[in-house]
Structure 1
C-alpha cells in the first residue's frame, strides 16, 4: 500500500487536529501517486468560497500518459463535510493557524485520501526542544534493549 508522508510538516508545526479528506483527481494523477511521484514542498491548504483547496502539491506527470496527461502543479479541491469545513474555517481565522497536508494514502477501496492537519508554527527553540527529546528517547531505547 502506497503511503507518502510530509516529514517536514512535523518538524515545522504542532498539530491540534487532523482530518482525512478526499481529493478531486484525474486518472493520470492517481497513477503517479501510486508510483510515489508526489512532492509536498511548499504545499498548503486554503479556503475559497467555503471550499477547501490544496495549493502547491506537485504530482509528477504520468510517464505513459498521452495528450490527456495532467498538469504537475495546480489547485486541487478537497472533499470534506460542511460541518468540518466550517469548524476549520473558523479556526483558521485565529492568528497563527494553518492547514497543512500530512500524508497521501489509498484506502481498502483504492480511493486516494489526503490527511490534513490544523497546525501552529513552531519557533526555533521549539524545534530544538523536539530534536533534543527525540534524541533522548533514542538513547533510552539503546540502553533498554
Structure 2
C-alpha cells in the first residue's frame, strides 16, 4: 500500500488534532497516488460554505492516461462529517491555527484517504528546539546500540 507523508508539516507546525477524511478524486488521480506521485509543497486545507477543500496539493499526471487526464494542482474536496467540520471551523477562527495535510493513504477497502491535522505555527526558535531534541534522541539511540 502506498503511503505518502508530509514531513515538513511536523517541522512547521505543532499538530494538536488529527482527522481522517475521504478525498474526491477524478480521472487518473488514483493511479498517480498509487505510484506515489504526490507533492505536499505549500498545500493547505480551507473551509468554504461548510465544505472542506485542499489547495496546492500536486498530484502528477498519470503517464499512461489518455482522455481523462487531470489538472495536477486543482482544488479537491475533502469528505468529513458535519460535526468534524463545525469543530474545525471553530478552531480555525482562532489566531495561528491552520489545517494541513499530513499523509495520504489507502484504507483496507482500497479507498484513498487523507489525514489532516489542526496545526499551530512554530516560531523559528521552536523549530531549532525540535531539531535539537531530535538530534539528542538520535544520539541516545546510537549510544544504546
Please give the range of the TM-score, normalised by the shorter of the 2 chains: over 0.9
Corresponding pairs, count: 145
1:143, distance to aligned residue in structure 2 (A): 1.2
1:78 match: 78
Paired with 1:41 and 1:121, the residues of 2 have a C-alpha distance of 16
Partner residue in 1 for 2:142: 142
CA distance in 2, matches of 1:108, 1:42: 29
Question: TM-score of the superposition, structure 2-length normalised?
Answer: 0.98
The CA deviation string for residues 78-127 of structure 1, in whole angstroms up to 9 with x for no partner, is: 00000000001010000000000000000111100000000000000000
Q: Is the 8 A contact 2:39 2:57 kept in 1?
A: yes
Q: Which residue of 1 aligns with 2:131?
A: 131
Q: Report the aligned-residue RMSD.
A: 0.6
Structure 2 unaligned residues grouped into runs of 5+:
none
Q: Tell me by how many angstroms 1:69 deviates.
A: 0.7
CA distance in 2, matches of 1:131, 1:71: 36
- Please give the secondary structure, in 2, of the residue aligned with 1:94: coil
**Deviation digits for residues 27-80 of structure 1 (CA, Å, limit 9, x no counterpart):** 400000000000000100000001000000000011111121111111100000
Give the corresponding residue for 1:12.
Answer: 12
Aligned partners of 2:133, 2:42: CA distance in 1, in Å? 27
Any runs of at least 4 consecutive aligned residues in structure 1 with deviations exceeding 4 A, and if so which?
none
- Cross-structure match for 2:28: 28
Match of 2:90 in 1: 90
CA distance in 1, matches of 2:68, 2:45: 26
